[in-house]
């Protein structure tokens, strides 16, 4: 397993990030523990979660699953670069959501308790909060950093100008600011190439793509349907809206002798700004299979063909839409 710096930080993480959103709602706890153990065996040291995962308000189901796994010992916690998130509703009262200093403080304490750890490696804002001033947010994060409860900070679902604003105000405070941005990014969703990717490159943020397989659209969905495996209604609608290019994509993957999911991950890893796509295996077997993506080499001809199938904006802004 290759390990690289997360953005301009000194911390080194694996080229694949283990996403835990399925742990609890889809994957039983015992199976989740086996997946995490196998991830360490493969050298995957980067785990991503969120206080809201588990989708029962205020319960932090997925964080609790990770916490019980850490509690088994064996230096599990020490081996993991742990990322979690703050922002979403964790209760019904006014200050149990978003990025006020009050909610940040309480949410961090709750995550630490559920995760059974005394520090979080990367604390990520799950979304931009237009109602909380950056002076308040950065001060709250500075306190957590001073207390040793958080080492690094990241964003998720930020626009390019949000990243720029956050970093410039952090610079004024002599604070490191963001080290990563977690964005929706895959072959079929390339909007971030307009401004988010350039902002990450300019400010030294590692880009962590979520939904790298487009919710299953890029994971061999037509092949799986031919084998009798049913897709969700939402995925079926996406397939019908994109059928010609998905057919061509899966045909290209067959010509390459590679699984579509691994080609999609390899394409992301080809981008120098991308640190680690988030994979969300539901089983140990799916985790094992994803490791192949690290070995897939895409030639310039294949990259061009993929660009023709999934063209994206073509260039960063403003060249994408102006001279």
pLDDT digits (tens, 9 = 90+) for 71-98: 999 999 999 999 999 999 999 999 999 9
Domain ranges of the chain: 3-219+259-299
* Least confident piece of the model among 178-192, 213-227, 298-312: 213-227
152 is catalytic: no
**What separation in angstroms does the CA of 322 have from each of 105, 160, 313, 319?**
44, 18, 12, 5
CATH fold, domain 3-219+259-299, is: TIM Barrel (3.20.20)
Q: Which of 5, 84, 91 is nearest to 275 (CA)?
A: 5
pLDDT band at 223; cut points 50, 70, 90: confident
Res 241: pLDDT? 87
Query: Among residues 53, 87, 123, 152, which one is catalytic?
Result: 53
Q: Over the stretch 12-68, which tens digit does the pLDDT of each residue have?
A: 999 999 999 999 999 999 999 999 999 999 999 999 999 999 999 999 999 999 999
CA torsion 61-65-68-69 (nearest 10°) is -160
Q: Which of 191, 188, 270 is nearest to 221 (CA)?
A: 188
Q: Over the stretch 240-295, which tens digit does the pLDDT of each residue have?
A: 888 999 999 999 999 999 999 999 999 999 999 999 999 999 999 999 999 999 99
**What separation in angstroms does the CA of 319 have from each of 14, 195, 313, 315?**
33, 11, 9, 6
Residues 6+ apart with CB under 8 A from 304: none
Q: Which two tokens stand for residue 255?
A: 């010509």
Res 228: pLDDT? 78
Q: Which residue has the tokens 């306190």?
A: 143
Res 233: pLDDT? 83
Q: Which residue has the tokens 């994803």?
A: 290
Residue 238 pLDDT more than 90? no
């Amino acid at each position: 397993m290759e390990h690289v710096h997360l953005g301009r930080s000194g911390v080194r993480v694996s080229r694949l990030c283990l996403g835990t959103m399925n742990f609890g709602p889809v994957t039983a706890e015992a199976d989740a523990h086996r997946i995490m153990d196998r991830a360490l065996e493969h050298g995957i040291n980067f785990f991503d979660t969120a206080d809201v995962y588990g989708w029962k308000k205020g319960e932090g189901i997925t964080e609790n699953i990770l916490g019980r796994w850490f509690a088994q010992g064996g230096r599990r916690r020490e081996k993991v670069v742990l990322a979690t998130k703050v922002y979403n509703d964790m209760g019904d009262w006014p200050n149990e959501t978003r990025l006020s200093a009050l909610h940040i403080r309480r949410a961090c304490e709750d995550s630490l308790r559920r995760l059974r750890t005394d520090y979080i490696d990367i604390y990520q804002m799950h979304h931009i909060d237009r109602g909380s001033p950056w002076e308040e947010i950065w001060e709250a994060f500075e306190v957590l950093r001073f207390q040793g409860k958080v080492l690094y900070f990241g964003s998720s679902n930020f626009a390019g100008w949000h990243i720029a604003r956050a970093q410039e105000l952090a610079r004024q405070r002599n604070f490191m600011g963001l080290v990563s941005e977690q964005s929706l990014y895959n072959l079929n969703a390339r909007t971030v190439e307009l401004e988010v990717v350039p902002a990450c490159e300019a400010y030294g943020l590692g880009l962590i793509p979520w939904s790298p397989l487009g919710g299953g659209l890029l994971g061999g969905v037509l092949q799986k349907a031919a084998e009798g495996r049913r897709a969700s209604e939402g995925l079926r609608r996406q397939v019908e809206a994109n059928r010609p290019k998905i057919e061509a994509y899966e045909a290209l993957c067959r010509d390459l002798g590679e699984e579509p999911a691994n080609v999609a991950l390899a394409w992301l890893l080809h981008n120098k700004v991308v640190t680690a796509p988030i994979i969300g295996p539901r089983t140990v077997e799916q985790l094992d299979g994803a490791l192949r993506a690290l070995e897939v080499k895409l030639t310039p001809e294949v990259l061009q063909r993929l660009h023709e199938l999934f063209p994206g904006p073509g260039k960063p802004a403003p060249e994408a839409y102006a001279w």
